[in-house]
Amino acid sequence: MNVFVLKDEAAIGKVVGDLFCDKVLQKPNAVLGLATGATPLPTYQRMAKRCKAREVSFKGVTTFNLDEYCDLPVEHPNSYRSFMRAELFDNIDIDLQNTHFLDGNTADEFAQCAAFDALIEEKGGIDLQLLGIGRNGHIGFNEPANAFTDGTFKVELTPSTIAANSIYFTDVPMPRYAMTMGVGSILRAKEIVLVATGSAKAEAVKAMVEGAIDPQCPASALQKHENVAIYLDPAAAALLSR
């Protein structure tokens, strides 16, 4: 794991946004793994800015989003599909047909999860995966558990995640289930960039970087991957011993 501490989230957004743009400049048909939440917003703003300036085009890019809520209409503003349109896809020149999401309202979750993993493989695998981290150490919606997950699956969200994300749900109750790429699916990405900002993430960051590889901190599985960069602000890095 390579850990970088930058001065604030704006500086991280610039560097990480440029990493994604550079990947696309090197490989115009790159496959990108994307995350939602507050953390990636500066990264997505940087990508949109460079696309608007015609420095990079996402026309040939394919994306896979890590996760999606269950039992929430896709057109609801809190669905991750809506989030990605508002925060990135409507601001770049990507072909929406090449953006892939899990369907949290599917009648056959097992078939859909298998099809999602198979499609990632068919597209050649994820070249660069963006991750945030939950306060409980989750990545995607892989919650603390007794064993690491592998492929995409349906998960019951933990009270910590429900508490953290409930603030976004004002009109409907926060969903209790989600579909998510598993830890194994995430580790199959060729390159991974995880961003964490703010003091609320400091304990999870310490467990991820300096703790044992333990499914109680799902992000600690990233220690097993050969090509992971972690970008932190000083608050998120505060508990690291080196």
Give whichever of 62 and 79 is closer to ligand F6R, judged by the CB atom. 79
Q: Find out whether 211 and 175 touch, Cβ atoms under 8 Å.
A: no
Q: Which are the contacts of 189, defined by CB distance < 8 A and separation ≥ 6?
A: 33, 125, 126, 127, 128, 129, 225
**With respect to ligand F6R, which residue has the nearer C-beta, 127 or 137?**
137
Query: What is the closest distance, in whole angstroms, from the C-beta atom of residue 169 to ligand F6R in the complex?
Result: 13
Query: Least CB distance from residue 16 to ligand F6R, whole Å?
Result: 13
Instruction: Kindly give the pairing relationship between strand 99-100 and strand 2-5.
Output: unpaired
Catalytic residue among 78, 87, 109, 138: 138
142 catalytic? Reply is no
Q: Which residues bind ligand F6R (CB under 6 A)?
A: 35-39, 66-67, 132-134, 138-140
Q: What is the DSSP letter of 123?
A: T
Q: Closer to ligand F6R at the Cβ: 13 or 37?
A: 37
Q: CB 64 → ligand F6R: shortest distance, Å?
A: 11
Q: Report yes or no: 237 and 205 within 8 Å, Cβ to Cβ.
A: yes
Catalytic choice (67, 68, 87, 109): 67
| Nearest Cα residue to 157 out of 138, 140, 126, 178 | 178
Catalytic residue positions, numbered:
67, 136, 138, 143
